Amino acid sequence: MKKIFIAGGSGMLGTAFYEVFKNDYNLKITDKDVNDHWVEYLDFNNNNEYQNKVFEFNPDFLFHIGALTDLEYCEKNIDITYLSNTISVETAVNISNSLSIPLLYISTAGIFDGKKEAYDDWDIPNPINHYGRSKYNAEKFVIENSVKYIICRAGWMMGGGKRKDKKFVSKIINQINNSQNEIFVVNDKLGTPTYTIDFARNVKLLIENNETGLFNLICDEKTSRLEVAKFIISKLNLENKIKITEVDSNYFKSEYFAKRPYSEILIPKRLKLKNIYTMRSWKESLTEYLDLYFNEKIK
């Protein structure tokens, strides 16, 4: 088996990589948060420890997938944001170059300013918050310095189940579980969801086809926060029990004060042109995920 070292892999995306790759690859998955039996401790902000762990394992691929993603935390903790989201990636590039192995880096739709409705792989990013800026700086470093790399930009992440999902879908479900009969949802944010399992499967196809470069990798079809919330309520047959009230982003500005783009819609142009795009529609993926989530098949 070929070997993959995954740094920052105990979260929702790392869990998907574990499930998708575990039968065909020898994996070493590391993180500061050791929350599963298949996770080993590593703080990838410790450059020497990061390098030593990877060199010891001597992998065929290095996946650097961890990051600080809470926008408000990033605005309030700027130094640790750039250390975790930018400097650690520079370390990953140096490690992968030293071993002459490919690097996988996970970027984000959040590197765009949202002034266009949608962005393909070649649009020029213009981040409007420290999270986006830290991720874009890392993306540029990988492109300019990595000998062989794949960059995959994700959108609105969904996956990981009850223990690990801290994103929008889980927040809606938590409100439902708290017996709320009214949910307030923004009507001014557009994007493209990314189901972690589909994402990991498409990444697996990319590395097995020896692909390189930058790819927008999101579920098919654009949507909005409001439409996603309505879809969840509908799928759970709660239309007559829970009211969705539309609000604009100012309604949540005290809690979510970081600037967010109006649109984070990504277009998977390169993948489709190369005929290696396997992501399903977000509705199909979310339907599957809701079933897994509530039946506790994700552990």
pLDDT band at 296 (very low <50, low <70, confident <90, very high): low
Whether residue 259 is contained in a domain is answered as no
Within a domain: 19? yes
- pLDDT category of residue 176 using cuts at 50, 70 and 90: confident
CB 271 within 8 A of CB 205: no
Region 63-79: mean pLDDT is 98
Question: What is the arithmetic mean of pLDDT over 246-256?
Answer: 96
Is residue 231 a part of any domain in this protein? no
The CATH code of the domain that includes 123 is 3.40.50.720
Q: What is the mean pLDDT of residues 4-18?
A: 98
> In the chain, how many domains are there?
1
> Residue 257 above 70 pLDDT?
yes
Task: Say if 55 falls within a structural domain.
Answer: yes
The answer, yes or no, to whether residue 221 has pLDDT greater than 50, is yes
**What are the residues whose beta carbons fall under 8 Å from the beta carbon of 200, sequence distance 6 or more?**
13, 16, 17, 19, 20, 21
Q: Report residue 290's pLDDT band, with 50, 70 and 90 as the boundaries.
A: very high
- 286 belongs to a structural domain: no
pLDDT at 299 exceeding the cut of 60: no
Report the pLDDT averaged over residues 142-146: 98
Reported as a pLDDT band with limits 50, 70 and 90, residue 292 is: confident
The strand pairing partners of 40, in sequence order, are 30
pTM: 0.95
Q: What is the pLDDT of residue 298?
A: 40
CA–CA separation, 113 and 130 (whole Å)? 12
What is the span of the domain harbouring residue 63? 3-159+193-221+264-279
Domain-located, residue 145:
yes
Domain contains 41 = yes
Instruction: Determine, yes or no, domain membership for 197.
Output: yes
pLDDT band at 179 (very low <50, low <70, confident <90, very high): confident
